[in-house]
Structure 1
């Protein structure tokens, strides 16, 4: 690393590279170890920052640190707004409205009381920080939801509340700060109120105008495809800067509204924009968390006493539950879901960034305990991130509000062979769903008791009725090769390309019919086509589950069944991994093999009326 001999400081370029490597590396390690990514990022930032002193953002990056964090938070909130399509609200709409219009003011009040009587802050500091605490952290919620795999409605409640209340929390802090400013200076109430109204109006108008104007330009082809993302980024930063120049922190509201408008504009390029933004957000969340954790001043934390712990307990166990339960009274949302949302309130990047800013401003106004706002914010974030990072999944599972414990398989295309495959998966206790736009194709599956979805799997109806979180693997297996390729290509970024399969296309080996690797899914089994799979089933082939032991290994099975097609391996824990013709398969004792093989000569052939013979263990 490039280190200056004088003071051991890193160069800004080296410091930013270190932030990226540590942030993304922590997320990758968390994925490998199945641990909460947010927790590892927090720990990694503290270790390279105040513990070992490798990185000091103020020393190594200097005055650019805060602007970088501000822009990153703006991009994160914009991406959050970009995910808020009103049609995705469905049955969570009432709850979201309650959490925003009732929960935000009530949360402000209860958080202020927790700060005043729990942490012992003055009313001025409590009111300002209490407004910021409306924020529940979209930068934290998104990774937690991916990890916990919640069912649709509680996940939607938590996501919408976090993103919508995020800019509202910043504006509440602005409002409280303006009141404190009036009481501690010669500024009149009228001018302070006018500044606040003007800032909110400018943020709303610019956000709506920018979102509508950009959507219109994209829809009418006024921006070429290769420039859409750059134009989007430049406009996003410009809107944030413009609104922020009128009223500090109102830029967060502007970019959130801008994202919301674009999300509901039905743009043909929307998916490409959203996916690119998601990738950028992962990088930015990593960077911001590492920067904030590395900037932690242990001496500032040393000014806190036992009342800090009392404050955190009051927020987690009293203020948050009361806010949510009171807001959702009469909403029709089941009590279990209310309880889950009530006891899930992680705070994140925006809270720390905004709290530190307003803490400094309060100190400048003569409110001395404003210096405690930053340390208290960090303690609250650290406590809630660790708490919810380790407990959200188990708690939701205990309440029955998670997707199936074993990740399921979504099969697109109803037929004789996909129904038999689904029966074998069901026997292995792997959740399975067959979707088809032709109701007749689903008859066998319904008669066999297999869950089905009648409709196009790419439709909006499918988004609302299929809980995609519960399915980690996709098999595109209709009799239409072009549609299979479309489905696999569209859903691969969401489910992971390594877990999206399709039956091999007819004539795919011919040059004029070959497609680039970016299109379609992976071949299934030995690479058979739809017609070949159907033919094998008509000839009496059956899907079978074969258990492996210390005595009967994978090699023994291969020697005994050289004609069988290996479809997948079910591990000892019940998780299924489908395989393709080029996959190197490893399976030990306790695993089960899912195969398609011909019937033995001495076995009775399966009834072929509806193809309903159940798969059995070999």
Structure 2
């Protein structure tokens, strides 16, 4: 055999394969955790089964540093979970979410604990640890599935907030169980272990509270420059975890979670920028850690999974969740189709896998050989639940009547005669959309026409949960204020992707010094993509509307191609939008031409068509 690559190359392979897995997940619209763990399994135990020696052996590669690296990754993940927990948003989500937290969480923990004991034959303590880890349904796997399903907000908000809140709760519960096991093995009584757990939680909470409050206060008073806020926050998270763990082992996870919650509710103006920086760093860190965790599994540990593990996962998916959710949400404001859907969806994700890899590994190192099955069991559960629920989600939502449209949804910001005309044309094409404006009077015509409307500021915190940007595939900002349109596009670009936020052109380039390429104009990096041709600004399309120009939809067939449709347009008319045969929508403009193809529909804006015989 060839000599194995050196340590630097293997580190590069770990990081590169993790990022590649995330990119493939984005392209395939799969949850990234599945491909990340798949890469680790291929490079680790599966390679070992095929060749007799794994390509990656993180334990041999990093030695005693592997466990602290995994611990820091879990800390960053839990901080991220705490950072998403904004109590103002949670209060607006209604009673079902609180029921899932107050009743659903302990009932699920108890049910999984019983199932693990009687099906897998685990001792009660390990069963309780497994149950705590598997209560989590993290947003990293739930939110991508919800975006694909395009569910009503009443249903998606319950699943979203359950994942956000239960994520840190489940991890902390697992930490408490681990600490009890560790102290019991040291000869302490369960009472002493319980008191130590409470003390550890209190110490961690105080350290996290002080760190979060102190850093947020420094930010509010301008003691930290903007370019240093994000890296300082990351350093503070690592320091908070290390300081708390020095005072009491494993209390650091409590500390960083509380740190994140305090930060999320401190009303910091720069919170979004820090979240984006953290997401970029966390993407690399989490990718590397999950490849390493999966590669750390041995062929022997995989062979510990037998028919009982498969039965346990089936009971988890088909018995535990479907029984507990209806009992928890019965009599709530959520209707029965929504309850049935929530009962059938609970994918496990990042926190479950990372927490299992960390805590179960510590137990095995301390001499609990029966804990070796926990990590592969959790990994198998993550695979099964993500794939199972991923394939079930769409058909189940359609069967329950929760999905009204399978096509992409468009968010139109700004109600004016031109966008209202666009809305009428989209409704005729059966393209789902929402038109938003801060002025109730401007929305009057849209409401009378039966269009879906949102009255409020799309940049507000309220819009984050009432408008739910995640349900939209594309955004068009078309108000009379060019700078506001640019701000809306920039704000929504991280959620929708910069290739899916559009606005009308800037000032007429025919006017000297006012074109989009003028250095005094809004830079292209600070605005959305241009709809229509350059120079077709708000004033231009509004003037054409009042001159009698209208929208026209043309169906593309094998006989009547997109070339024919473009040739049939009147002089000056322009294609605006293409509805493709698969339900996706594409807004058109400079260098973006319609693809065409049978079954697609081309929407144009212009004077009356010169070809009256063209299909429409």
Q: Which TM-score applies when normalising by structure 1?
A: 0.89
CA contact (8 A) 1:196 1:247 kept: no
After TM superposition, the structure 1 = structure 2 runs for residues 60-99 of structure 1, keeping only pairs within 5 Å, are 60-99=61-100
Question: Structure 1 unaligned runs (5+)?
Answer: 604-615
1:268 Cα shift? Answer: 1.1
Give me the CA root mean square deviation.
Answer: 2.7
Q: 530, 540, 543: which is aligned to 2:538?
A: 530
CA contact (8 A) 1:137 1:166 kept: yes
Residue 560 of structure 2 is aligned to residue 570 of structure 1: no
1:188 Cα shift? Answer: 4.0
CA contact (8 A) 1:150 1:469 kept: no
For 1:89, what is the secondary structure of its paired residue? Answer: helix
1:189 Cα shift? Answer: 4.4
1:232 Cα shift? Answer: 0.3
Q: 8, 12, 36: which is aligned to 1:17?
A: 12
CA contact (8 A) 2:21 2:39 kept: yes
Matched residues in 2 for 1:471 and 1:190: separation?
Answer: 52
Aligned counterpart, 2:333? 332
1:546 Cα shift? Answer: 1.1
Q: 554, 558, 583: which is aligned to 1:550?
A: 558
Matched residues in 2 for 1:212 and 1:71: separation?
Answer: 21
Q: 512, 520, 543: which is aligned to 1:513?
A: 520
After TM superposition, the structure 1 = structure 2 runs for residues 13-162 of structure 1, keeping only pairs within 5 Å, are 13-52=8-47, 53-162=54-163
CA contact (8 A) 1:170 1:249 kept: no
1:419 Cα shift? Answer: 1.1
1:537 Cα shift? Answer: 1.4
Q: Which TM-score applies when normalising by structure 2?
A: 0.90
For 1:212, what is the secondary structure of its paired residue? Answer: helix
CA contact (8 A) 1:547 1:591 kept: yes
1:285 Cα shift? Answer: 3.5
> How many correspondences in the alignment?
601
- Distance verdict in 2 for CA 1:565–1:231, change over 3 Å: same
CA contact (8 A) 2:576 2:605 kept: yes
Matched residues in 2 for 1:600 and 1:343: separation?
Answer: 50
- Distance verdict in 2 for CA 1:286–1:150, change over 3 Å: farther
Question: Structure 2 unaligned runs (5+)?
Answer: 48-53, 509-513
1:177 Cα shift? Answer: 4.2
CA contact (8 A) 2:57 2:295 kept: yes
CA contact (8 A) 2:553 2:604 kept: yes
Matched residues in 1 for 2:464 and 2:327: separation?
Answer: 30
Matched residues in 1 for 2:421 and 2:499: separation?
Answer: 23
Matched residues in 2 for 1:390 and 1:601: separation?
Answer: 47
CA contact (8 A) 1:207 1:239 kept: yes
Deviations 1:86-109 (A, max 9, x none): 222245343333333333332222
Aligned counterpart, 2:289? 288
For 1:474, what is the secondary structure of its paired residue? Answer: strand
- Distance verdict in 2 for CA 1:279–1:177, change over 3 Å: closer
Aligned counterpart, 1:236? 237
Deviations 1:459-491 (A, max 9, x none): 234334324333221111111222222222222
Aligned counterpart, 2:591? 582
CA contact (8 A) 2:568 2:610 kept: no
1:178 Cα shift? Answer: 4.8
CA contact (8 A) 1:107 1:320 kept: yes
Matched residues in 1 for 2:359 and 2:275: separation?
Answer: 32
- Distance verdict in 2 for CA 1:118–1:189, change over 3 Å: closer
After TM superposition, the structure 1 = structure 2 runs for residues 267-416 of structure 1, keeping only pairs within 5 Å, are 267-359=268-360, 362=363, 368-401=369-402, 404-416=405-417
For 2:441, what is the secondary structure of its paired residue? Answer: helix
